[in-house]
Structure 1
Amino acid sequence: MTPPRRSPWRFGVPVVCLSAGLLLAATHGVSDGADIRRSDAPRLVDLVRDSQRSVDRLTDERDRLVGEVDSFHGRSADAALAAMKLRSAELSEVAGLDPVHGSGLVVTLTDAQRDANGRFPRDASPDDLVVHQQDITAVLNALWSAGAEGIQIQDQRLIAGSSPRCVGNTLLLGGRTYSPPYTISAVGDPAAMQAALAAAPLVTLYRQYVVRFGLGYREEVRDNLQLVGHVEPVRMAHAVPLGPIPY
């Protein structure tokens, strides 16, 4: 009699079971008992839903603000636009964007000139003989403090963002370069502005240099002084609201 054949699975099954056991043990060690397939990352559908909720919230906020603006101006977009244009026109004059005219004062500052012999004062240094930025600033501050309605340097109207700068004996303003004499024109009360200039310490110091080193200084009262409006684009990098704007 032929003995029965033994199936290969007699040895294969224990090997497979042993391998599976080793794999499970290794997995347990790596995961430390936790589910290694679990993910903390949100699913794509959750991201879509969150984005949609954010869009809906912002849309509601926009609609609410639009409603407030419309109701504030009579529930009409045309009325709102008309009110904004009117307010813009009012602020344009205050901001120096519109021409202005009236009585005023013209102040002229000039570098020192040589005497009849073609020489400067012997004890003068080069800095003593030119108009500096601090001299121009002192005149501007005095004019503003006296209530000037508008000020113009050379052919440019000054606004809040204007920044006159001197480099050597040249003036930089609004991207353009000017040489002396420097003409500063201000519309306002001439007597008040002259008094402010006379009381300004740095202007007084400049006038002492006028006497000592021959710098130029002249004040001229005008009955009808014409100032141009600021024509360059007004660009604000940073602004802080001072409060609600009255309409």
Structure 2
Amino acid sequence: MDQDGGPEQRRRPSAWRFGVPVVCLLAGLLLAATHGVSGGDEIRRSDAPRLVDLVRESQQSVDRLTAQRDGLVNQIDTHHGGSPGADAALTAIQNRNARLAADAGLDPIRGPGLVVTLTDAQRDAHGRFPRDATPDDLVVHQQDIQGVLNALWNGGAEGIQMQDQRIIGTSAPRCVGNTLLLNGRTYSPPYVITAVGDPAKMQAALAAEPSVTIYKQYVVRFGLGYSEEPRASVDIVGHTEPVRMQFAKPAGPIGY
């Protein structure tokens, strides 16, 4: 009952009368903000390309490169076959390359030869190295290998192979730590050098090479390994890697 004693009871205002408009207003603001951020696009769309799109792009790239390749092949065929003497000139160049391949070391050879082996020092029966040896005294160095190679060439070697690679004009053995780097591949000792030629002449050249003489002194003093083995026949592989030539350029005017 109210204070006036009336039979009608007052009703308290419901919270939904104010809450629903507020929720609707907030939802509208959220939708408006989302639309502004996405620019009208799907906000859950993945940025990752679809597989079908990747396949289509790859196919287009293949088609484009294929057309480019066909065009280059056509240009080569046109240049080579564009004149009556083109085929003859190309054949002459190929024949000349074949004649020079042997001198360049590209062809394998066989004949009497010499096998030289160099290796690092080994420990004695007690597992020790000489007391006064330094680490540099116990390993084969680049200059040791280069000295053997130079002596073999001076002794008339027709071809030289080191490990499993042919030594040509552009070969440059390099020591990296206690390993050897040759044409991009690394090797560990023992280092085996095989040469085709007159064994007696090559051994005489090795005996006359100063750097080899010094190395032999280290063999006696610190236990480095060295051996020469003449053979009636040895096989030497041909150089199979691409030959990249670099030409020297004059630094200034050439006087006569």
Which TM-score bucket, shorter chain as reference? 0.5 to 0.7
Q: 1:79 aligns with which of 75, 83, 88?
A: 88
Q: How does 1:125-140 map to 2 (within 5 A)?
A: 125-140=134-149
Give the residue type in structure 2 aligned to 1:143. Answer: L
**Structure 1 residue 78: Cα displacement:** 2.4
* Aligned match of 1:43: none
Distance 2:91 2:244 in 1: 23
Distance 2:248 2:110 in 1: 29
Distance 1:77 1:183 in 2: 46
Residues 25-81 of structure 1: CA deviation (Å, up to 9, x unaligned): xxxxxxxxxxxxxxxxxxxxxxxxxxxxxxxxxxxxxxxxx9xxx9xxxx7322222
Please tell me whether residue 212 in structure 1 is matched to residue 233 in structure 2: no
Give the residue type in structure 2 aligned to 1:195. Answer: A
Distance 1:178 1:238 in 2: 29
Please tell me whether residue 224 in structure 1 is matched to residue 204 in structure 2: no
Distance 1:96 1:179 in 2: 24
**Structure 1 residue 239: Cα displacement:** 5.3
Please tell me whether residue 179 in structure 1 is matched to residue 225 in structure 2: no
Please tell me whether residue 155 in structure 1 is matched to residue 164 in structure 2: yes
Give the residue type in structure 2 aligned to 1:103. Answer: P
Please tell me whether residue 111 in structure 1 is matched to residue 120 in structure 2: yes
Give the residue type in structure 1 aligned to 2:180. Answer: L
- Could you list the structure 1 runs, at least 4 aligned residues long, displaced by more than 2 angstroms after superposition: 75-79, 237-240
Q: Which runs of 5+ in 2 are unaligned?
A: 1-78, 250-256
Please tell me whether residue 188 in structure 1 is matched to residue 188 in structure 2: no
Percent of residue pairs bearing the same amino acid type: 73
* Aligned match of 1:197: 206
Please report the TM-score for the alignment, with normalisation by the length of structure 2.
0.63
Please report the TM-score for the alignment, with normalisation by the length of structure 1.
0.66
Distance 1:79 1:146 in 2: 40
Distance 1:238 1:84 in 2: 20
Distance 1:212 1:198 in 2: 18
Q: How does 1:1-150 map to 2 (within 5 A)?
A: 76-150=85-159
**Structure 1 residue 135: Cα displacement:** 0.1
Distance 1:137 1:159 in 2: 13
Equivalenced residue count is 168
SS of the equivalent of 2:227 reads strand
Distance 1:188 1:157 in 2: 15
SS of the equivalent of 2:211 reads helix
**Structure 1 residue 236: Cα displacement:** 1.7
Please give the root-mean-square deviation of Cα atoms over the aligned residues, in Å: 1.5
**Structure 1 residue 86: Cα displacement:** 1.1
Q: Which runs of 5+ in 1 are unaligned?
A: 1-65, 241-247
Distance 2:247 2:93 in 1: 21
Distance 2:194 2:175 in 1: 18
Distance 1:105 1:167 in 2: 26
Give the residue type in structure 2 aligned to 1:89. Answer: A
Q: 2:177 aligns with which of 156, 168, 171?
A: 168
